[in-house]
Amino acid sequence: MDLVPAPRAVEGPMRCGVVFDEGTTLWAAAGTEGTERWLRSVLGAALGLPLRSGPEDARDSVRLCLDDSLAPEAYRLSVIANWGVEIRGGGPAGVFWGAQTLRQLLGPEAFRRAPVRPGIRYGIPHQIIEDSPRFPWRGLMLDVARHFMPKEGVLRYLDLMAAHKLNVFHFHLTDDQGWRVRIERHPRLTEVGSWRTRTKFGHRASPLWEEKPHGGFYTKDDIWEIVAYAAERHITVVPEIDVPGHSQAAIAAYPELGNTDVIDTTALSVWDSWGISPNVLAPTDNTLRFYEEVFEEVLELFPSEFVHIGGDECPKDQWRASPAAQARIKELGLADEDELQAWFVGHFAKWLSARGRRLIGWDEILEGGIAEGAAVSSWRGYGGGIAAARAGHDVVMCPEQHVYLDHRQADGADEPVPIGYVRTLEDVYRFEPVPAGLDESQARRILGTQANVWTEVMEDHARVDYQAFPRLAAFAEVAWSALPAPGERDFAAFERRMTAHYRRLEALGVAYRPPTGPLPWQQRPGVAGRPLDGPPPIR
């Protein structure tokens, strides 16, 4: 059984089974129409099969059903010889995840866009698979602010997520280096903020530059299309709009948003290098009203429960030097700049809550006090997630030491633009999202886990593929499957299953890192990175 991620239970397989050919029909119960469309448009196109509608009791057919005895994302896939295939899901999502498993059973040809062997009959052995996810939040964060990914690339990554049963797409839309979503009331955010004049090539210490403009943004129609495409695949899109740090692109577009009593904000441009910009938002009523208007349009675009506001890596030097910021601290009765940031974040937590949404932010939002109901993305290690869970807040575990996929995959000199610590496929496979030391009620605060892809040194989708895969497949198994403790996980068996999975990735056109190391065209000789030696610190 070469399924990735691994299912909870499998009965079989046996030699006899069910054949897919021109006569295979498809019957879908009410509530499963989305998976019915997906099977015809994706699986039918790949295999060259019409999958026509047929009666429920037709032999060698595929039947889609809902079963309220199962959890919403759980499914039971039955392949019964001389009878057919049935996918029963606790909800529409469960049926869809069962269809993803069916696709894997049909072989790598099922992952192409058109048939490569027309007329062939595809057999699936007799078996019963029962499966359900460990976590409700199984996420991928994609940074499109540092290097813009056109809409077609985003849709492609949603398909890749669905193929691995990931269900939360964290869409990092704004940063110092670019603003990527059109806001009608503030058009300069994209007219000015979505383009930089040049781009640092490699780590920020690199002397190399790409001397041409870089940028792009998504229109409202683009976003609606992305959100709808994700929803058809049972993926929730969680937008991120960074405040109060990582905001130089916004300040370049609207200088009044910055600390004008400290620097000449009219001289700022969209940042062309990497790192943490010192230029942060001013804690003024004007800034709050401006971002309320931004978030009003964001809420129209994204129906997700959670909205990510960043809240990380906000240097306080300008606030310390700003008479206006210091006066605001005194006016609000705050102790220091950390509490000023907490006030800023807390304002938007209340604002979002009043509109039926929830704020989520990186673990720096714990500093100076965290707003009631806010959730935490724990990225600097386990510590922030542990503190948040113990304080009664929901947590998504995404510690950089384990699941930052921009970190290098090996210590060889041919790794392209090596960043951070070595995080191998096995390292990711042995990641445990629930930290030790939490009691049962605190552990329930762990909504799930997320892999993060920061794109400073990833100039195109092939570089993103190289960093994400195959490690994202290992991460998907960690997020979905009921695995034993990290030291007891059978990585050798996972590697054997990956042998088959590599063929699926190849059929999908994924430029993954081969187990033997980068191919010549995947290398970046002479482009400096920032490799860190030794094991990563576990905080």
User: Which are the catalytic amino acids?
Assistant: 175, 246, 313
CA–CA distance, 418 with 458 (Å, rounded to integer) = 11
Asked if 256 contacts 265 with a C-beta cutoff of 8 angstroms, the reply is yes
Asked if 128 contacts 102 with a C-beta cutoff of 8 angstroms, the reply is no
7: phi then psi, degrees, rounded to nearest 5:
-75, 165
Distances (CA, A) of 84 to 59, 62, 64, 460, 504: 6, 6, 11, 43, 24
Residue 443, H or E segment: helix 440-443
CA–CA distance, 226 with 350 (Å, rounded to integer) = 28
How many CA atoms does the CB half-sphere of 150 hold within 13 Å? 4
How would you classify the pairing of strands 174-175 and 178-179? antiparallel
CA–CA distance, 392 with 382 (Å, rounded to integer) = 16
- Helix, strand and coil content of the chain, in percent to the nearest 5, comes to 35, 20, 45
CA–CA distance, 399 with 420 (Å, rounded to integer) = 13
Report CA dihedral (94, 97, 98, 104) to the nearest 10 degrees: -170
Closest CA to 311 of 381, 244, 367: 244
Place of tokens 């009631």: 372
Asked if 72 contacts 49 with a C-beta cutoff of 8 angstroms, the reply is no
Asked if 140 contacts 207 with a C-beta cutoff of 8 angstroms, the reply is no
255: phi then psi, degrees, rounded to nearest 5:
-55, -25
CA–CA distance, 149 with 197 (Å, rounded to integer) = 17
345 φ/ψ sector (left φ>0, alpha ψ -120 to 50, else beta):
alpha
Question: DSSP labels for 182-236?
Answer: --TT-THHHHTTTEES-EE-SSTT---EE-S-EE--B-HHHHHHHHHHHHHTT-E
Residue 163, H or E segment: helix 151-163
CA–CA distance, 472 with 512 (Å, rounded to integer) = 10
CA–CA distance, 254 with 228 (Å, rounded to integer) = 31
